[in-house]
Amino acid sequence: MEKLAIFDIDYTLTKRETLFEFYMFLLKKKPHLIIHMPKGTIVSVLYALGIVEAAKAKSDFMTFIKGIHEDEIRELAKEFYRKRFSKIFYTDAINTLKRLKAQGYKIYLISASAEFYLNELYNIKEVDKVIGTRFKFVNGYYTGEIIGENNKGEEKVRRLMEVLKEENIEVDFKESYMYSDSLADLPLLKLVGHPYLINSRKKINNIEILHWK
């Protein structure tokens, strides 16, 4: 049986929120995308207030990539990783990831952020699987729709189990690890024998808190 080391990404692997970082990266290359800033700010506030669900907020915010062909987005994602994304990792997170890989664990990165740019995390040679929120493209262009569900909470567990079944991988969850900054990941944290909260101010279920830099 395999042992997994599962990592959330935003504020666990990275110091900042990656979707906003991707938007700011594109904004420098395509200044006209500033027109999406007011809408993005509004939906972020509405989500924080609990007025709109995370999936809708994310879909609405992601309108800034409408009209950009997926081939161009793929190239932009590569540049984003090289110039910005790879610069915001917690050193402690990368060291932990490498240490567990050396101990024989499979490294799974699971996030609610967009899979099309998270796939650049395969540049980290220790990473075995990246699972993010999937977005729909028709004739090469983003439609504004999420494929399936927003990859958050219980959906992360469902997607993980789906991937493990597809790849015929059996896992010893009691010996597996999970790292997250958020209690939204409680379903995954409860799944493993070694759960950790990263830089959290709240402790729950006696889950140990690690302070990463």
* Edge-to-edge strand list for the sheet holding 194-198: 141-147, 127-138, 106-114, 4-7, 177-180, 194-198, 208-210
Domains of the chain: 4-210 (3.40.50.1000)
Question: For residue 206, is pLDDT > 90?
Answer: no
Within 10 angstroms of residue 45's Cβ, the number of other Cβ atoms is 12
State the burial class of residue 164 (Cβ atoms within 10 Å of its Cβ: 0-12, 13-18, 19+). Answer: middle
Characterize the bridge pairing of strands 4-7 and 177-180: parallel
Q: Which residues pair with 134 in a beta bridge?
A: 147
Q: How confident is the model at residue 47 (pLDDT cuts 50, 70, 90)?
A: low
9: pLDDT strictly greater than 90: yes
pLDDT of the residue at 68: 85
Q: What is the mean pLDDT of residues 51-62?
A: 65
Instruction: Give dist(CA 83, CA 28) in Å, integer.
Output: 12
State the chain's mean pLDDT as an integer: 89
| pLDDT, tens digit (0-9, with 9 covering 90-100), for 110-144 | 999 999 999 999 999 999 999 999 988 889 888 77
Could you tell me which residue, 213 or 33, shows the higher pLDDT?
Answer: 213
Q: Give me the mean pLDDT over the 192-203 stretch.
A: 92
